[in-house]
Amino acid sequence: MNMCKCKDCCDQLSEYLDGEIDPCDCKEIEQHLEVCVPCSLIYESLKATLDLCAKGIPDDMPQEAKERLRQFLRTHCNADQS
């Protein structure tokens, strides 16, 4: 494990997952991930983290809060109009 290469690689993984790394550097990262097990595990766990953020936080606004919002806006927006 080459600490310098590993640090460079891990420092870029977030941008790599966002597709923000230029193709030349991408190739270097991919080559490193192929041979370095610790970095490839960090990459896999970072990817899993992003996936969980996308799927794991529910949009759970309570129905009563929706109703309160609707009433609040009707009262205040209509007051603005009149």
Partner 1 sequence: MIEDQQTVQRVLSGDYQAFEALVEKYQGRIYRHLKKMVKDAHVAEDLLQETFLSAYRGLKGFAGTSSFSTWLFKIATNSALMFLRRTRPENVEYDDQAAGHCEASFVSASPEFLNTPLEVLLSSEGRKKIEEAIEDLPVLYRSVIVLRDVEGFSLEEVSKITDASVAAVKSRLHRARNAVRESLGTYYSERGASSNRGASDEHVQM
Which residues make up the interface to partner 1 (CB under 8 A)? 6-7, 10-11, 14-15, 18, 20, 38, 41-42, 44-46, 48-50, 52-61, 65-66, 68-70, 72-73, 76-78, 80-81
Identify which of residues 24 and 61 has a Cβ nearer to partner 1 in the complex. Answer: 61
Spatial separation of the C-alpha atoms in residues 31 and 78, rounded to whole Å: 62
Identify which of residues 27 and 47 has a Cβ nearer to partner 1 in the complex. Answer: 47
Spatial separation of the C-alpha atoms in residues 68 and 7, rounded to whole Å: 50
C-beta of 79: minimal distance to partner 1 in Å? 10
Q: Which residues contact 46 (CB under 8 A, 6 or more apart)?
A: 13, 14, 17
